């Protein structure tokens, strides 16, 4: 298996991207192609005996650029070149921590959407006390129509079953209440179709508070809503950790409970909440494997993201989506 890695995408590129690729090549025993400025990549890569090669790309799409214009205008950008390597069959998957918009646009323009899929959908695994809740769409597109939400449910269910290994995953529709009469026209119409589908285990509406509890395996929503939920969750987790630390220090909790015990507890909590533990979210609905990592990804997150790509390819999710449709 060969993975194309956008070495220039992300806040910590190319140093952390290269380090993550080295870790992944050792851990997952896969071939990796680092795509981007060859000199900068080689300076970070040094000498190694791992199956890692470099494909030079002279351009980089920056975070602030308009995704569609940048993808069309920068033909030799690292994300475009890497995505084309998947299209040609030279690589099995592409992963990038760069501009999410550029990654999504490149995948849809180059790999194309699977026939019958109206919108691609980012499927983000959310940590919960019960394991993982898959949230989609978490930002690939906005203003989704009911058919797009239904397709997200089908794709999310397949991914949860075959990659996350959840048997008969429960699928819920994000809404402002449990009753099927609640919500806007978009979700009410979607609900009426979902409750009559036999292609997934639809269990009704989910409220925002249900997501972090792990009550449902898959939660579907519009990309605008999903991205707000995702970023709110990230900020809330950081805030809770900070407030808890401040309270323990102010009230003598560190001394009372013991610094070693608290450090171990906080380390374990941070690990469960850390985006680095997952590393990447698959873009479902395109005819190929594309994994999107967080912009702040470090080497450990990139390594994990490559692991997501490996599992995605091995599970043949695009083929399963085609069969389901």
What per-residue confidence (pLDDT) applies to 247?
Answer: 72
What per-residue confidence (pLDDT) applies to 270?
Answer: 60
Residue 55 has pLDDT above 90, yes or no: yes
Among residues 216, 140, 118, the alpha carbon closest in space to that of 174 is found at 216
Considering the four listed CATH numbers 3.30.1540.20, 3.40.718.10, 3.40.30.10, 3.40.190.10, the one that applies to the domain covering 2-117+285-324 is: 3.40.718.10
What per-residue confidence (pLDDT) applies to 259?
Answer: 60
Domains 2-117+285-324 and 144-278 share a fold: yes
- What kind and span of H or E run contains 124? strand 124-128
Strand partners, 32: 3, 52
Residue 64 has pLDDT above 90, yes or no: no
Q: Where are the domains of the chain?
A: 2-117+285-324, 144-278
144-278: CATH homologous superfamily?
Isopropylmalate Dehydrogenase (3.40.718.10)
Q: Global pTM?
A: 0.87
> For residues 112-130, b (16+ Cβ closer than 10 Å) or e, as one string?
eebeebebbbbbbbbbbee
**Averaged pLDDT for residues 171-184:** 91
Q: What is the pLDDT of residues 259-274, one digit of tens each?
A: 666 666 656 666 555 5
DSSP 8-state code for residue 113: B
What is the chain's mean pLDDT, rounded?
88
Residue 250 has pLDDT above 80, yes or no: no
Residue 170 has pLDDT above 90, yes or no: yes
What per-residue confidence (pLDDT) applies to 274?
Answer: 56
Indicate the Cα dihedral angle 241, 245, 251, 254, nearest 10°.
Answer: 120
Residue 138 has pLDDT above 70, yes or no: yes
Q: Which residue has the higher pLDDT, 254 or 161?
A: 161
Q: From CA 297, how far away is CA 103, in angstroms rounded?
A: 15
Residue listed under structure tokens 């080689």 = 42
- Mean pLDDT check: name the lowest of 23-27, 137-141, 241-245: 241-245
- Mean pLDDT check: name the lowest of 5-9, 34-38, 70-74, 226-230: 226-230
Residue 151 has pLDDT above 80, yes or no: yes
What per-residue confidence (pLDDT) applies to 84?
Answer: 97
**Averaged pLDDT for residues 301-312:** 93
């Amino acid at each position: 298996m060969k993975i194309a890695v956008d070495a220039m995408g992300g806040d910590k590129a190319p140093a952390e991207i290269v380090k993550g690729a080295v870790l992944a090549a050792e851990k997952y025993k896969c071939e990796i192609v680092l795509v981007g400025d060859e000199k900068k990549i080689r300076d970070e890569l040094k000498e190694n005996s791992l199956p890692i090669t470099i494909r030079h790309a002279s351009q980089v799409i920056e975070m602030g650029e308009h995704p569609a214009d940048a993808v069309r205008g920068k033909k030799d950008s690292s994300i475009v070149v890497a995505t084309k390597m998947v299209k040609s069959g030279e690589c099995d998957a592409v992963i990038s921590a760069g501009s999410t918009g550029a990654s999504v646009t490149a995948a849809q323009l180059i790999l194309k959407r699977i026939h019958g899929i109206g919108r691609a959908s980012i499927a983000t695994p959310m940590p919960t006390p019960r394991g993982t809740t898959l949230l989609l769409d978490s930002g690939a597109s906005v203003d989704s129509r009911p058919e797009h939400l239904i397709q997200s449910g089908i794709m999310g269910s397949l991914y949860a079953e075959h990659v996350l290994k959840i048997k008969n995953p429960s699928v819920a529709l994000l809404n402002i209440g449990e009753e099927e009469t609640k919500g806007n026209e978009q979700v009410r119409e979607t609900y009426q179709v979902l409750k009559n589908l036999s292609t997934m285990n639809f269990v009704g509406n989910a409220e925002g508070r249900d997501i972090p509890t792990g009550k449902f395996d898959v939660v579907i929503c519009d990309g605008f809503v999903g991205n707000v939920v995702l970023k709110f969750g990230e900020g809330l987790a950081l805030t809770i950790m900070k407030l808890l630390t401040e309270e323990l220090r102010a009230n003598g909790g560190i001394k009372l409970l013991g610094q070693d015990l608290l450090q171990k507890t906080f380390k374990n909590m941070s690990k469960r909440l850390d985006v680095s533990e997952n590393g990447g979210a698959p873009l479902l609905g395109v005819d190929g494997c594309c994994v999107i990592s967080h912009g702040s990804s470090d080497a450990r997150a990139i390594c994990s993201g490559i692991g997501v790509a490996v599992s995605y390819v091995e599970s043949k999710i695009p083929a399963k989506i085609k069969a389901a449709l």
